[in-house]
Amino acid sequence: MTLLVVTAVEPEAEAVRAGLPAGRVRVAAVGVGAAAAAAGTARLLALAEAAGSPYQAVILAGIAGGFADRAPLGATVVATRSIAADLGADSPDGFISLDELGFGTAVAPAAPTLLASLRESLPDAITGDILTVNTATGTAETAETLARRFPAAVAEGMEGYGAARAAADATLPFAELRTISNTIGPRDRAAWRIPDALAALTKAARSLGL
């Protein structure tokens, strides 16, 4: 299978590459946020298709914030669904999702076969929804609100839903794989364990056996 792995930033891409045999998989950093992920992934897919060597699957990989008591620091998480948590409308009665507004869906389910293969390769990984947010959560109040709105969510990142949409437009299977660098809650950058999360990302990539 010709696989495209996209990450937000280059250190994440390097961590993934370090766990993969050279030249077998394309790993590219496409930028932070769902818009960058969608645009960057779509461009890579289109260029490969135009060159006559299309990709056959897309994985969004990177580090993430983990929900307290659901995904601890250093854990590997695999998304059953990548959900755009803040795509919709605010209202005095609470958040209204894109689905409720009738404008499509904010939920991108992982491709069943790709998800099953990731789970088999990563038996210790925590499986659940991974939220895509435009603003990284920085208060206990927002963390609690998200945990309540999304009881099956284990982590949040900023790109999954965007890359998933690009893969869906190209009718390709998609999955999201992340490792936990910080706990979702009051912003405390000093408490982020980025090197540990990047090391876990390398280990996860190696476990894929590609």
Ligand X SMILES: O=C(O)c1cccc(C(=O)CC[C@H]2O[C@@H](n3cnc4c(=O)[nH]cnc43)[C@H](O)[C@@H]2O)c1
Assess 8 for contact with ligand X (CB under 6 A): yes
Choose, by CB under 6 A, the member of 6, 12, 34, 111 that binds ligand X.
12
Q: Give the closest residue to 128 by CA, choosing from 152, 150, 106.
A: 152
Assess 194 for contact with ligand X (CB under 6 A): yes
Residue nearest to ligand X (CB): 65
Assess 159 for contact with ligand X (CB under 6 A): yes
DSSP 8-state symbol, 185: S
Please report how close the Cβ of residue 132 comes to ligand X at its closest, in angstroms. 8
Q: Give the closest residue to 149 by CA, choosing from 80, 97, 72, 78.
A: 97
Assess 133 for contact with ligand X (CB under 6 A): yes
Please say whether the dihedral angle defined by the alpha carbons of residues 195, 82, 152 and 138, taken in this order, is positive or negative.
positive
Assess 6 for contact with ligand X (CB under 6 A): no
Assess 61 for contact with ligand X (CB under 6 A): no
Half-sphere exposure of 114 (CA within 13 A, CB side): 25
Q: What Å distances lie between residue 117 and 96, 175, 179, CA to CA?
A: 34, 10, 17
Stretch 81-120: interaction string toward ligand X, x if CB under 6 A: ----------------------------------------
Choose, by CB under 6 A, the member of 157, 170, 173, 179 that binds ligand X.
157
DSSP 47-72: HHHHTT---SEEEEEEEEEE-TTTS-
Number of residues that bind ligand X (CB under 6 A): 20
Assess 77 for contact with ligand X (CB under 6 A): no
31-50 positions binding ligand X, by CB under 6 A: 32
The amino acid at 180 = I
Please report how close the Cβ of residue 151 comes to ligand X at its closest, in angstroms. 18
Place of tokens 């949409």: 165
In the chain, how long is the greatest CA-to-CA distance?
A: 53
Nearer to ligand X (CB atom), residue 14 or residue 54: 14
Which positions lie near ligand X, rule CB under 6 A?
8-9, 11-12, 32, 62-65, 133, 136-137, 156-159, 181-182, 184, 194
